[in-house]
């Protein structure tokens, strides 16, 4: 059994990107500048965005964090987006999700200039990804694909079950793993809350991607001997013994499932750091894709 180490792999990716930034600077090219908009005070979102800013610093990108209060109106947020769309120094940006309930997420994501949409959430970029055209790929599925590639996990002809159909993870994951390339060429089944016989479907899978946000959902009896299991879950639960006051729980019962696996990702230290690394990889592509 091989533990797919996202922490180590993402550190390697950041070091590679830092080298590319150095080379870019030496040529006199523009270093990518990433901005992030954070609306409200959600603790997890604040942590993620701060980590993204730190990653930019490590890699050598420019970074700007725009913090807006939870009461920000949709109109005010759209104004902030419009400003970033027209700011020539900002090459790419993200609007951290989830947004407060009074804001229409679709309207916001559609307002982002597709050329600066490093999250790959704009319908134009979702379409380009679906057609296999060059574009920004949503960070979590892209990070998973990169982890599979770097560990040379076999995917061709494999039966893959993705649990969860979110626009951010499950849906793009199912598209990427069924595409005609490596990692891909899987036969993908996309499962969700209305799926019948989920356990049975999982038991047939060579690869399981669990992205439903229910701690310990995937148990040993649902996993075939030799399967590859990717855990996207990052549910926070209170834990007074931790400095942060919480710990992260994955969607997979790691201790029971791992002995059956060929490959498995841990939580923390698996998909989470790869998601951040993928955003940095997308940001590195801004000069290329920004002109597309």
Which residue among 84, 94, 161, 222 contacts ligand GUN (CB under 6 A)?
A: 94
Known active-site residue 22: no
> Which among 130, 138, 82, 89 is positioned nearest to 110, based on CA atoms?
82
Q: How far apart are CA 205 and CA 228, in angstroms?
A: 9
Residue nearest to ligand GUN (CB): 97
Question: CA angle 280-286-291, nearest 5°?
Answer: 165
Which is nearer to ligand GUN, 96 or 265 (by Cβ)? 96
271 binds ligand GUN (CB under 6 A): no
| Three-state secondary-structure class, residue 33 | strand
Which residue among 126, 139, 208, 249 contacts ligand GUN (CB under 6 A)?
A: 139
Known active-site residue 291: no
96 binds ligand GUN (CB under 6 A): yes
CB 138 within 8 A of CB 120: yes
Number of residues that bind ligand GUN (CB under 6 A): 8
Tokens of 60: 């050598």
Q: How far apart are CA 261 and CA 20, in angstroms?
A: 35
Which is nearer to ligand GUN, 222 or 284 (by Cβ)? 284
CB of 206 to ligand GUN, least distance (A): 26
Task: Report the Cα 273 to chain-centroid distance in Å.
Answer: 9
Known active-site residue 83: no
Which residue among 21, 56, 90, 168 contacts ligand GUN (CB under 6 A)?
A: 168
CB 85 within 8 A of CB 109: no
CB of 55 to ligand GUN, least distance (A): 13
φ and ψ at residue 88, rounded to 5 degrees: -65, -20
CB of 95 to ligand GUN, least distance (A): 6
Which is nearer to ligand GUN, 58 or 105 (by Cβ)? 105
Tokens of 206: 């060579």
- Partnered with residue 62 across adjacent β-strands are 33
- Partnered with residue 252 across adjacent β-strands are 218
Which is nearer to ligand GUN, 25 or 67 (by Cβ)? 67
Point out the catalytic residue in the list 5, 55, 96, 251: 96
- Tell me which residues are annotated as active site: 52, 96, 119
* Contacting residues toward ligand GUN, per CB under 6 A: 94-97, 119, 139-140, 168
């Amino acid at each position: 059994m091989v533990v797919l180490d996202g922490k180590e792999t993402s550190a390697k990716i950041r070091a590679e990107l830092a080298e590319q930034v150095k080379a870019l600077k030496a040529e006199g090219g523009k270093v990518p500048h990433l901005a992030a908009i954070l609306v409200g005070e959600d603790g997890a979102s604040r942590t993620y965005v701060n980590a993204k800013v730190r990653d930019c610093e490590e890699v050598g990108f420019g970074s700007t964090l725009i913090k807006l209060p939870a009461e920000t109106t949709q109109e005010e947020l759209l104004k902030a987006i419009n400003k970033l769309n027209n700011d020539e120094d900002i090459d790419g940006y993200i609007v951290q999700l989830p947004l407060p309930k009074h804001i229409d997420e679709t309207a916001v994501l559609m307002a982002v200039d597709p050329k600066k949409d490093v999250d790959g959430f704009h319908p134009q970029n979702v379409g380009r990804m679906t057609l296999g055209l060059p574009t920004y790929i949503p960070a979590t599925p892209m990070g998973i694909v990169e982890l599979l590639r770097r560990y040379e996990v076999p995917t061709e002809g494999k039966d893959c079950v993705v649990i969860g159909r979110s626009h951010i993870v499950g849906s793009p994951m199912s598209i990427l793993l069924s595409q005609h390339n490596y990692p891909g060429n899987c036969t993908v089944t996309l499962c969700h809350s209305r799926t019948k016989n989920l356990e049975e479907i999982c038991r047939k899978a060579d690869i399981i991607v669990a992205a439903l946000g229910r701690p310990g959902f995937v148990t040993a009896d649902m996993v075939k001997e030799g399967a590859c299991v990717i855990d996207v879950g990052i549910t926070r639960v209170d834990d007074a013994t931790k400095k942060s006051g919480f710990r992260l729980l994955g969607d997979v019962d790691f201790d029971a499932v791992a002995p059956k696996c060929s490959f498995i990702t841990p939580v923390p230290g698996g998909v989470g750091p790869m998601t951040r690394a993928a955003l940095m990889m997308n940001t590195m592509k801004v000069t290329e894709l920004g002109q597309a």
